[in-house]
Amino acid sequence: MAVRFDALLSVAKLKELQLSSITIVKNDSELAGVERIIEQVSRRIEKHLDRRLIVRPHTVSIDRLHFESDPGYDSSSEDFHYSADVHQWPIVGVTYPTSGDASTPQIHYDRTSLLMDSTYTSLYRTTFLAGYRRSDQTSNAVLKAQSGATPLLDDLTDSMFDDLEELPGDIERVALALAIRDIAGISMGMVGRTRMRQDLKSVGVEIDGLVANFEDRMLETIDGHRLPVFF
């Protein structure tokens, strides 16, 4: 068993830290519990940011997108007349409609927006791939071999994978801190408190992991990755 492809950490990443307060996995019987904590931490972070962070497909209704015209649009250029910011980014590809279907209006994209030449369209939905990759997801084949990736990521091409950005370091750091805190638990003596504080410091966290509002304070440090206010 292993963490899902869309977890924000791998067990191997935690093991790399050589923590003093806890042993990440003492034996195989503890592995499932650690993986479960990683999955739970990942979902809590995504809930806070209101985003799915690891690459996956997203389908949206065209009529729910707020396409706006570019006031500086130049019809002689290769720019697109209309753009709509989306809830999930960075975008790496549009999988529906496909570029080979000449009868269907085409959707283009940049990092955070979907682009169209005209908003007058019979198209009612579009599907795009957006998100990051973990540092251990070193190739498209490696990513697709991980739990839960197939068939969800069947349309992710090698060229799309090459465009994937690595999960931002501050998000990974928060995931590490919350996982360390959850694995260690809250029933620790003073020696344990000191060791956990040292472990958190090793991943760049200066806050004592046992303070009551530790998680809220950690999540606040990545608020810059939340959805823009215009949503």
d(Cα 167, Cα 183) in Å, to the nearest integer? 22
Q: In this model, does residue 95 exceed pLDDT 70?
A: yes
Q: In this model, does residue 231 exceed pLDDT 70?
A: no
Residue 15 bridge partners (DSSP) = none
**What is the pTM assigned to this prediction?**
0.87
Burial (Cβ within 10 Å: 0-12, 13-18, ≥19) of residue 155: middle
Calculate what percentage of the chain has a pLDDT beyond 90.
47
State residue 187's pLDDT score: 43
CA 49 to chain centre: 10
Region 58-79 average pLDDT = 73
Region 170-174 average pLDDT = 96
Tokens for 27, please give them.
């034996």
Residue 133 bridge partners (DSSP) = 166
Whether the Cβ atoms of residue 13 and residue 176 lie closer than 8 Å to each other: yes
d(Cα 229, Cα 231) in Å, to the nearest integer? 5
Q: In this model, does residue 186 exceed pLDDT 60?
A: no
Residue 198 bridge partners (DSSP) = none
Region 29-57 average pLDDT = 93
